[in-house]
Amino acid sequence: MQKVYFIDTTLRDGEQSAGVAFNKSEKVQIARMLDRIGIDFIEAGIPAMGSMEIEAIQEILNLGLKAKISTWNRANIGDVKASLKCGAKYIHISAPVSDLQIKYKLNRNRVWVLESLKRAVSYAKEFGTVVSVGAEDASRADIGFLIKFCQVAQQEGVERMRFADTLGILEPFTTKEKVSRIIQETGVDVEIHTHNDFGMATANTLAAYKGGAKYISTTISGLGERAGNSSFQEALNILQKLEGLPININEKDLAKLINYVAKAARRPQYVSVV
């Protein structure tokens, strides 16, 4: 039975929902509550956004939580410096990997992406940080380049690779196939990060687990950009009840967290029953 680790990105991707902006005290309280239910990793935010974000992340880091606190960064040294300024020890570095995003978002090429990744990861690791990398828009990437991206990241000593279905376009059969192939050809630990544009975020999360992904990225109640992310509650219930994984979560504490996030997000429709 494969152990899984939950990465919560409510404070980063969840906050990208239209109209959602947590204040510092809300972010700190959400982090406390996530830690109380036993989340393994908390993606606390994006330090490059500026001083207010840095202050919130620093306060979360100073709580002394059991969960590992990570920050999200683009593949450039400026972003990494902002994370280091916070005191972050776990740094996530993301780069587009689909030719569409490389061309139209970055106006660059594949070689530039790989070189930028190597520079950013190498710089972060100079300061003793644990680094994970994100393959943005992985679902539309050429599989050969995606595998090369993973291999370059491995050579730099990263902990895991996030397979991001950034636009929520995948279905479960393809998800399992892609994740399985990446693991078979590289041996990298895979984190799955899905969006719900076609209503399949949680199904794709399960499929990635079936394909060998050990790390599960979710948000509370599926809060997130556009149609949202994979819901923690849904993923938890599926892995517990359908896959039989012994994941121990205090349901009363989870219910309190669900309702707190709903209130802080001004999204009462996100209240749900565990």
- Residue-averaged pLDDT of the chain: 96
In the predicted structure, residue 88 carries a pLDDT above the cut 70: yes
As a whole-number percent, the residues of the chain with pLDDT over 70 amount to 97
From the list 159, 158, 168, 172, the residue with the least C-alpha distance to 193 is 168
Give the pLDDT score at 26: 98
pLDDT digit string, tens, across residues 181-236: 999 999 999 999 999 999 999 999 999 999 999 999 999 999 999 999 999 999 99
What residues does 5 pair with on adjacent strands? 215
pLDDT digit string, tens, across residues 139-177: 999 999 999 999 999 999 999 999 999 999 999 999 999
Range list of β-strands (E), the chain:
5-8, 41-43, 68-74, 90-96, 130-136, 161-165, 190-194, 215-218
86-91 long-range contacts, CB within 8 A, separation 24+: 86/47, 86/54, 86/57, 86/58, 86/61, 87/58, 87/61, 88/47, 88/57, 88/61, 88/129, 89/128, 89/129, 89/130, 90/41, 90/129, 90/130, 90/132, 91/124, 91/129, 91/130, 91/131, 91/132
In the predicted structure, residue 22 carries a pLDDT above the cut 50: yes
pTM of the model: 0.96
Structural domains in the chain, sorted by start? 5-270 (3.20.20.70)
**Residues in contact with 112: Cβ distance below 8 Å, sequence separation at least 6, in sequence order:** 102, 106
Question: For residues 83 and 47, what is the distance between their CA atoms, to the nearest angstrom?
Answer: 5
In the predicted structure, residue 179 carries a pLDDT above the cut 90: yes
Mean pLDDT within 29-36 = 98
**pLDDT band per the 50, 70, 90 thresholds, residue 274:** very low
